[in-house]
Amino acid sequence: MGVFFLYNRHMNNIYVTTAIPYVNGKPHLGHACDYLLADIYARYQNGKGKSVRFQAGTDEHGNKIYKKAKELDIPVSKYVDENSKNFQDFIHKLGVEYTDFIRTTDESHEQSVQKIWEKLKDHIYSADYEGWYCEGCESFVTDKEYAENNGICPDHQTKYQRLSESNYYLRISDFKDQIKEAIESGKMLVLPEFRKKEILKLLADSPDVSISRPTSQLTWGVPVPGDDGQVMYVWVDALSNYITVLGYPEQDISDFWPANVQIVGKDILRFHAIIWPAMLLGLGLPLPKVILSHGFILANGQKMSKSIGNVVDPIEVLERHGLDAFRYFFTRHIDTFADSDFTWEKYDAAYENELANDLGNLVQRLATLCGKNDVSAPDFSAAPDAEYTDYMDNFEFTRAIEYAWGKVQDINRRIDDTKPWALVKEDKDAGRELLASLVSDLLSANELLKPFLPDVTAKISDIFTAKTITPPETPLFPKN
Ligand code: MSP
C-alpha cells in the first residue's frame, strides 16, 4: 500500500529547471528562451493535473560580476541584489510562473554547496595547472580548442588568457563511461539529436575539470571548505542550484529529482551534459531525464552584441504588441532547437497576419454571428489530441503551436466554405447548429494554445462559454 502511494506521488510530480543567468547586466531577449520553454511545459503539465515545480534563479558569483560592480563603483552585494530583482521582474513580465527562485548568494545555497563539495571529496584532487581561460565562459579550454578558435572565444569574441595556478579538480574520468552510456541509451536524453553527437565527442576528449580558483584571482565566490586559499569555481556553485533549491542535502529530494527536463542554451550544454552529470554521479544522485538545449536568438541574422549595436531590448518587444504576441512569436517563429532570427518586420508581420487576422478576426466574426443568432455556448469538454500530445511530450514546442495554429486556420476556412451567415437565413436551426459546432472547434484549438498564450486563451474561453456570446468590445489584437 505504502509503496503504491509512493510510486504514484512520484509519477504525478514534474520538475522543470532553467539556466540561471549571470547578473552582470540587464535581461536581454535571449534570456526569454529558457523561461518561455519551461513555462509552456509547466503549464502543459499543470493542465494534465500534474504537480509541477519550476525553478528559476540568478547566478551571482564569479569574476565577471565582481569586476562589473567594481567598474560601476557599487558594492557587489547591492549590485547583485538590484540585478537579481531585474530578472525577477522580467520573468513576471513574460507571464512566466515559476514556483521556486534561487539566488546563488542565498546563505542556504552557499552552505549546501559546501556540503556538496565535501560529499564529492573522493573525486576531487589538487594540482597545478597552466592553460587557456575564457572569462566570459568562466571556463578553461583545451589547447585543441584554443588552436581551433585561433585564440579567441567564439562566444565572447575575447582573447583567451593564459593562467597558471594551483587548483582543485573534479575527476571527470571517474564518470565518463557512465555518462556516455546514459547519453547513448537515452536514459539522460540530450535534445536535439545533433547536439547529442557534439556532446559525445566533447565528452570523449574532456579532461578533468578545474573546480576552484585561488583567492588571489577570485574572491567573490563560495569558499572551498578547509582551504582558505581557494574559492569554488562558479559552475560548481551554479549547477548545484538545481538541487539545493529542492533542499539538498538536508532534505530528501526524491519527490522531484531527477528533473523531468532541464532547459539550457546551446552555449552551456557542455556544462550541463558533462560536469553536472559527473557531480550528480559523484553524489550518488540520478541523472536528469532530459536536457533540452535551445538555439540562439539572432538579430538580423547576427549574434546580438553591444559592440555591433544590434541588441534588442526585450521590454520594447513586449510593449510593442503585448504579452501574447511576445509569447506567440518566441515560440512559433523562434524554433525550439535551431538558431532563429528576430526582426521587427517579422514580428509585426506575425502580429498582423497571424494573431490579428487568423485569430483576432475569427473570434470577432464568430462571436458576432453567435450573438446575433442567439447561439449559446455548447457543452464543451476538451478531448485529447494525439498529435499535439506527441509534440508536447517530446518538447517539440514550435511544432505544437504550428499544429494548433493550423486548427485555427481550418476554422477560418470552414467558415468561408460553409457561410453560416447565409445558412442562418435559409435554415435558422441548421445555421445555429453549424455555429455551435464552429464554437466547439474554436474552443478545442484554444485548449491547445493555452500553455503558449495564457492571457488571450482565457479571454476566448470566457467569451465562448458565457451564457450569451458577445464579441469583445475591443478586438483581441487591435491593429496599430
Ligand atoms: N550563468 C550561466 C548559466 C548557469 S546555469 C547553472 C549563464 N548565464 S547567461 O546569462 O550567460 O545565460 C543564461 C541563459 O540565456 C543560457 O541558457 C543561455 O544559453 C541563454 N542565452 C543567452 N543568450 C542567448 C541568445 N541570444 N539566445 C537564446 N538564448 C541565449 O550561462
Q: Which tens digits make up the pLDDT trace of 223-281?
A: 999 999 999 989 999 999 999 999 999 999 999 999 999 999 999 999 999 999 999 99
Cα–ligand 1 centroid distance for 266 (angstroms): 8
Quote the pLDDT of residue 8: 59
Which is the catalytic residue, given 33, 68, 153, 370?
153
Measured from the Cα of 19, ligand 1's closest atom is 5
Which of 23, 37, 59, 262, when mutated, tests ligand 1's pocket best, judged by the most ligand atoms within 8 Å of its CB?
59
Neighbours of 106 (CB within 10 A): 17
* Average per-residue pLDDT for the chain: 94
Read off the pLDDT of each residue in 451-462 and give the average, rounded to a whole number: 98
Q: Which residue has the cell 550544454?
A: 269
- Continuous H helices in 56-136: 63-71, 76-93, 107-119
* Least confident piece of the model among 67-71, 306-310, 439-443, 464-468: 306-310
Quote the pLDDT of residue 7: 53
Is 33 marked active-site?
no
Cβ(233)–Cβ(59) below 8 Å = no
pLDDT tier at 150, thresholds 50, 70, 90: very high
Which is the catalytic residue, given 26, 156, 266, 346?
156
Measured from the Cα of 267, ligand 1's closest atom is 19
Cα–ligand 1 centroid distance for 31 (angstroms): 6
Instruction: Name 340's bridge partners.
Output: 297
Which is the catalytic residue, given 50, 119, 303, 346?
303
Among protein residues, the one with the nearest Cα to ligand 1's atom 30 is 30
How many angstroms separate the Cα of 24 from the Cα of each of 48, 65, 66, 81? 38, 5, 8, 11
Quote the pLDDT of residue 1: 43
Quote the pLDDT of residue 311: 85
Alpha-carbon distance 281 to 267, whole Å? 23
Quote the pLDDT of residue 304: 82
For 163, phi then psi, to 5°, come to -120, 145
Alpha-carbon distance 145 to 137, whole Å? 13
Alpha-carbon distance 419 to 381, whole Å? 26
Say what percent of the chain tops pLDDT 90.
Answer: 84
Is 153 marked active-site?
yes
Cβ(298)–Cβ(304) below 8 Å = yes
Quote the pLDDT of residue 129: 80
Read off the pLDDT of each residue in 17-25 and give the average, rounded to a whole number: 95
Quote the pLDDT of residue 433: 96
Quote the pLDDT of residue 2: 47
Cβ within 8 Å of residue 474, ≥6 positions away: none
Which is the catalytic residue, given 28, 67, 180, 459?
28
Beta strands of 290-371 (E only): which ranges?
Answer: 290-294, 297-299, 302-303, 340-342
pTM of the entire predicted model: 0.94
How many angstroms separate the Cα of 47 from the Cα of each of 41, 382, 389, 403, 472? 10, 11, 12, 18, 26
Quote the pLDDT of residue 368: 97
Read off the pLDDT of each residue in 152-163 and give the average, rounded to a whole number: 89
For 381, phi then psi, to 5°, come to -135, 135
Helix (H) or strand (E) holding 22: none
User: CA 334: distance to chain centroid?
Assistant: 13
Cβ(439)–Cβ(365) below 8 Å = no
Quote the pLDDT of residue 11: 82
Alpha-carbon distance 459 to 115, whole Å? 48
Q: How far apart are the first and last CA of the chain?
A: 61
Quote the pLDDT of residue 131: 87
* 3-class DSSP assignment, residue 31: helix
Read off the pLDDT of each residue in 176-183 and give the average, rounded to a whole number: 98
For the chain, the 3-state helix, strand and coil shares in percent, each to the nearest 5, are 50, 15, 30
- In this model, does residue 157 exceed pLDDT 70? yes
Cα–ligand 1 centroid distance for 30 (angstroms): 7
* Structure confidence by residue, pLDDT tens digits, 167-179: 899 999 999 999 9
* Structure confidence by residue, pLDDT tens digits, 300-321: 888 887 767 788 999 999 999 9
Neighbours of 149 (CB within 10 A): 15
Read off the pLDDT of each residue in 82-99 and give the average, rounded to a whole number: 98
- In this model, does residue 3 exceed pLDDT 70? no
Measured from the Cα of 239, ligand 1's closest atom is 6
Is 10 marked active-site?
no
Cα–ligand 1 centroid distance for 18 (angstroms): 9
- The CATH code belonging to domain 343-465 is 1.10.730.10
Quote the pLDDT of residue 152: 93
Quote the pLDDT of residue 6: 52
Say what percent of the chain tops pLDDT 70.
Answer: 98
Cβ within 8 Å of residue 263, ≥6 positions away: 16, 17, 18, 19, 34, 37, 38, 41, 292, 294
Which is the catalytic residue, given 31, 294, 321, 333?
31
Which of 24, 109, 268, when mutated, tests ligand 1's pocket best, judged by the most ligand atoms within 8 Å of its CB?
268
Please give the angle made by the CA atoms of 346, 351 and 352, to the nearest 5 degrees. Answer: 100
Which is the catalytic residue, given 144, 306, 467, 479?
306
Alpha-carbon distance 295 to 298, whole Å? 9
Among protein residues, the one with the nearest Cα to ligand 1's atom 22 is 30
Cα–ligand 1 centroid distance for 415 (angstroms): 44
Cα–ligand 1 centroid distance for 359 (angstroms): 33
Sequence ranges of the domains in the chain: 343-465
Is 321 marked active-site?
no
Which of 16, 18, 26, 33, when mutated, tests ligand 1's pocket best, judged by the most ligand atoms within 8 Å of its CB?
33
Query: Which residue from 328, 353, 330 is spatially nearest to 404, judged by alpha carbons?
Result: 328
Among protein residues, the one with the nearest Cα to ligand 1's atom 16 is 265
Read off the pLDDT of each residue in 329-357 and give the average, rounded to a whole number: 97
What 274-277 contacts at long range (C-beta under 8 Å, 24+ apart), as own/partner pairs, is 274/172, 274/179, 274/199, 274/202, 274/203, 274/206, 274/209, 275/170, 275/172, 275/209, 275/235, 275/236, 275/239, 276/239, 276/242, 277/175, 277/178, 277/179, 277/182, 277/188
The ligand 1 site (C-beta within 6 Å) comprises: 19-22, 30-31, 33-34, 59, 238-239, 264-265, 267-268, 296-297, 304
For 175, phi then psi, to 5°, come to -120, -5
Is 115 marked active-site?
no
What 374-377 contacts at long range (C-beta under 8 Å, 24+ apart), as own/partner pairs, is 374/432, 375/432, 375/435, 375/436, 375/439, 375/469, 376/467, 376/468, 376/469, 377/439, 377/464, 377/465, 377/466, 377/467, 377/469
- In this model, does residue 480 exceed pLDDT 80? no
Among protein residues, the one with the nearest Cα to ligand 1's atom 18 is 265
Alpha-carbon distance 465 to 441, whole Å? 13
Alpha-carbon distance 176 to 19, whole Å? 23
Cβ within 8 Å of residue 125, ≥6 positions away: 168, 169, 171
* Structure confidence by residue, pLDDT tens digits, 409-418: 999 999 999 9
* Structure confidence by residue, pLDDT tens digits, 351-371: 999 999 999 999 999 999 999
Quote the pLDDT of residue 218: 85
